[in-house]
A and B are shown apart, each in its own frame.
Chain A
Amino acid sequence: MRLGGRPRNPVLAREIKERLRTRRTTIVVTVYLAVLALILQVVYSGMSGAQDAFGDSLATQSARLGRSLFETLLFFMLVLVCFIVPGGTADAVSGERERQTLVPLQVSLLSPRSILAGKLLSSVAFVFLLVLATLPLLGVSFVLGGVSVGDLVRGVAAVLTTGLVLACLALACSSLARRTQGAMILAYGLTLFLALGTAMVYGAQQVLDDTGRRPSTAVLTLNPFFAAADATGRAGVDGFFGGFATSSPFDPLRLVLVPEDQRFLGGFEEDFPGRPMPMPVDGGPVEFFDEGRGVVVGVLPDGRPLRPEDAGGGIPFWARSAAVLGFTAGAAFLLATRRLRTPSNRAAVG
C-alpha cells in the first residue's frame, strides 16, 4: 500500500472501492462508534459521580477519569474488532469462489500472495479507519490526563495488531472452507478461542495444577486482550496510577500476568530498595524480587527457574505475545497462499 497515492495492489484498490460502495461499511462504522460513545458515556457518568472518594486533587481526579476512559475504550475497541474483522474477512476468498471470480484472478499474473495481501490490507485498512474514527473519543481521555502519547500509540498498535492477526486467521479460514458460511463459523470460532478459550485453558491449568506453582502464562500469549493489557500498563503500576485507583477492564488481566509479590510492590521498585523476598510457596518454589532486573523471579528447590522468563532475559509478556501472535498470523497467511497456489491437483470450482 502506498499512502497518499492509489494503491499498487489491484486487489486492494478494488476491495477499497467495493467497501466504500457498500452500505455494510457505513452500518459497521456507525454501530462501532455508537457502541463506543455509549460506553464512554457510561464510564464518564459512573466515574464522575464517585469523584472525590479518595479526597484527591482535581488534577488527580481528572487523570484517573482520563485513564479509565482510555482503558475502557481500548478494551471495547478490541471487543468490536473481534466482532468486525472475522466477519469482514472470512468471505475474502470463499466469496470470490462463490461469485466465480477467483479463477480469472488465478490465471492473471497476480500471485496468491498478492491476492491475499490485497485482501489482508483492505481488512487492516478498515480497522485503521475505525481507529481513526475513534481518535476523537480517545482524545477526550487524552485531554483529561493520565494518558501519555506512548500509551496512545501502544494502545492503537495493539488494536491494529489484533486486527491484523484476526484478519490473517479469517483469511486462512476463507481459503480452507468451501463456502463462506463455513469460513465464518471457523473464523469466529478461532477468534473466540483466542479471546476466551485461552483464558479458560489458563483457568483450567490453575485448577488442575496442585504443585503450588503458578501456571505458565504461555497460553495467554495467544490472547490479544492480555497482550494489550500488558502493553498499556502494569498491575500495581497503572492500577494505582500515581497513587490513585482506576477502574479498567484490563486490571483483572494484569493481575493474572503480574506475580503477586510484584503487584504488592505497587510498581515502585525503588520504594523497596534491595528487598530480597524469599517467599516459600508450600515448601516448593521460591519467589523473590531480583533487584538488578527489577522483576520477581521464581526458583524451584533444585535451583531451576520456575518460569521460562525467570531464567533471565526478562522478555516482557506483550513482546512474547506479539511474537506468538505474529507467528500464528504468518503461519495462517502462508497456509492461505498454499491453498491458492495453482496449478493444483484439484482446481477450485468457479
Chain B
Amino acid sequence: MTALDDLSAAPAGEPLELAVQVERLTKRYGDLFAVRDLDLSVPRGAIFGLIGPNGAGKSTTFLVLASLLTPTAGRVRVAGHDPVEDPRAVRSALGYMPDVMGVYDNLRVDEYLEFFAGAYRLPRSSWPGLIDGLLELVDLTGKRRAMVDSLSRGMKQRLSLARALVHDPEVLVLDEPASGLDPRARVELRELLVQLRDMGKTVVISSHILAELEEMCSEVAILEAGRLLAVGSPRSIGDQLGGARVVRVRLAGGEVQEHTVGSEEDQQALLARLVADGLPVVEFTETSSGLEDLFLRVTKGVVQ
C-alpha cells in the first residue's frame, strides 16, 4: 500500500488545486435520479477512481464533466471552468474518452489522429511531431499506417486515449477504459495512466470492477444508485465505512474465529486482547482488505 501513498503525493512546490470539482450534482431523467447530490473534489495530479456497479451514475457524471449533458441541479468545474457556461474552455482543458469507442472504417491510424488534431484547431505544421509523440506514448508507432478498424480492442482503446490527448489537456476523463481488455492490456493501460499522471495530468477514471483501479488510484469514490457512498484513499475508505474489516483468527487446535473490526487500530487492539487473553493464535488474517470485497459489502443490499 505504500505505492499508493507515492501516487497521491502532490508535486512539490505547487499549491493543491482542484482539477475537477463537483458540487451537489443532480441529474434526473423523469422520476429516475441518475446522479443525486454528488460532491467530489479531485486535486490536480491525482488519479481519481469512480467506482460503482452498472447504472450507478458514473457515465452520467462524466457526460456532465465533458460538457455534453446539462445537470438538473448543482454545478461542476473542470480546470476551473463551468461546462454549462463555458463549454469551449472545458473542451480545451479536457480529454474525454467515452465508454464506447467508435471507429471510422476508412481511415488510417495517423489520419484518425490528424482528423482530431484538425478538430482541435491545432496548426497543421505541428501535426507530424504531435502524432509521432502520441503514437509513441500509446505504443502504436508500428501501426501508424494500419486501418483503424483492423486494430485489436486494446489498440483501439489506446488509440482512443491518444485521441483524447491530442490537444494536451490538463484533465483526462476516462469512462471504463479497461472494460473488455485482457489482463495484459490492462496492465499496459495502467502503466500508461501512471505515466500521464507523472506528466502532470489529472486522471479521472471509472470502473465497475474494483481490481482495475485499486492499485493505481490515489483516491476513489464509491457510487451506488446515483449517490456517493464513500470517498477517500482506497485505504481510508474501509475505516470510513466502519466495521468493514473481517479478521479471521485461527487458533492452535484448528478453531477458527471471525471478528469484525472498524479500523486498523481496532484490529491491533483485537490482536493485543487475544494475546493478552492467552489464546494460542497461529493465524491472524484480514480476509476482506481488498477493495473488491469492500465494494461488495458496501453495495450489498442497496442493489437488491
| A residues in contact (CB < 8 Å) with B | 10-11, 13-14, 17-18, 21-22, 96, 99-110, 342-348, 350
Number of residue pairs spanning A and B whose beta carbons lie under 8 angstroms apart: 88
The CA of A193 and the CA of B291, in the complex, are separated in Å by 61
- Please indicate the chain A residues that have their CB under 8 angstroms from the CB of B70 in the complex: 343-345
Residue numbers in A under 8 Å from B105 (CB-CB): 18, 99
CB proximity of A200 to chain B, nearest CB, Å: 40
A239 CB → nearest B CB, Å: 48
Chain B residues with CB below 8 A from A100, complex form: 98, 100-102
CB of A98, distance to nearest CB on chain B (Å): 8
Among B94, B100, B111, contact of A107 (Cβ-Cβ < 8 Å): B94
Chain B 65-107, CB-CB to A under 8 Å as 1, else 0, gives: 0111110000000000001100110011010101011111111
Cβ-defined contact, B104 with A101, below 8 A: yes
B69 contacts A107, C-beta separation under 8 Å? no
A107 & B68 in contact (Cβ 8 Å cutoff): yes
Q: Which among B118-126, B138-146, B208-216 touches the partner chain?
A: B118-126
Q: A107 and B118: CB pair below 8 A? A: no
Contact A104:B121 (CB < 8 A) given known A18-B106, A343-B68, A344-B68? no
Chain A hits for B87, CB < 8 A? 342-343
18 A–B pairs (Cβ distance < 8 Å), ordered by A: A18-B105, A18-B106, A21-B106, A100-B101, A100-B102, A104-B98, A104-B116, A107-B67, A107-B91, A107-B94, A109-B88, A343-B84, A343-B87, A344-B70, A345-B70, A346-B29, A347-B68, A350-B102
Known A100-B98, A104-B98, A104-B116; contact A22-B106, beta-carbon cutoff 8 A: yes
Q: Do B69 and A343 have beta carbons less than 8 Å apart?
A: yes
A104–B117 Cα distance when bound, in Å, is 12
Q: Which residues of B contact A10 (CB under 8 A)?
A: 115-116, 118-119
Residues of A within 8 A of B102 (CB): 96, 99-104, 350
Interface centre among B87, B101, B111, B118 (most CB of A within 10 A): B118
- Residue from B87, B119, B120 whose CB has the most chain A CB atoms within 10 Å: B119
Q: Is the CB of B67 within 8 A of A342?
A: yes
B64 sits at the interface (CB 8 A): yes
Q: Please indicate the chain B residues that have their CB under 8 angstroms from the CB of A21 in the complex.
A: 106
Shortest CB-to-CB span from A291 to chain B, Å, is 60
Asked whether B241 is an interface residue with its Cβ less than 8 Å from the other chain, the reply is: no
Bound-state CA distance A343–B90 (Å) is: 11
Instruction: Give the contacting residue for B107; candidates A14, A96, A107, A108; CB below 8 A.
Output: A14
Is there contact, CB below 8 Å, between B103 and A347? Answer: no
Given A10-B115, A108-B91, A343-B64, A17-B107 contact (CB < 8 Å): yes
A109–B121 alpha-carbon span in the complex (Å): 7
**In this complex, which of A11, A14, A106, A108 has the most chain B Cβ atoms within 10 angstroms of its Cβ?**
A108
Q: Which B residues between 256 and 270 are near A, CB-CB below 8 angstroms? A: none
Which among A103, A344, A346 has the highest number of chain B CB atoms within 10 Å?
A103
Q: Chain B residue with minimal CB distance to A342?
A: B68
Q: In the assembled complex, how far is the CB of residue A17 from the closest CB belonging to chain B, in whole angstroms?
A: 7
Chain A nearest Cβ from B145, distance in angstroms: 14
Given contacts A13-B118, A345-B70, 6 further A-B contacts (CB under 8 A): A22-B106, A103-B96, A107-B91, A110-B119, A342-B87, A346-B29
Which B residues, 208 to 258, have Cβ-Cβ distances below 8 Å to chain A?
Answer: none
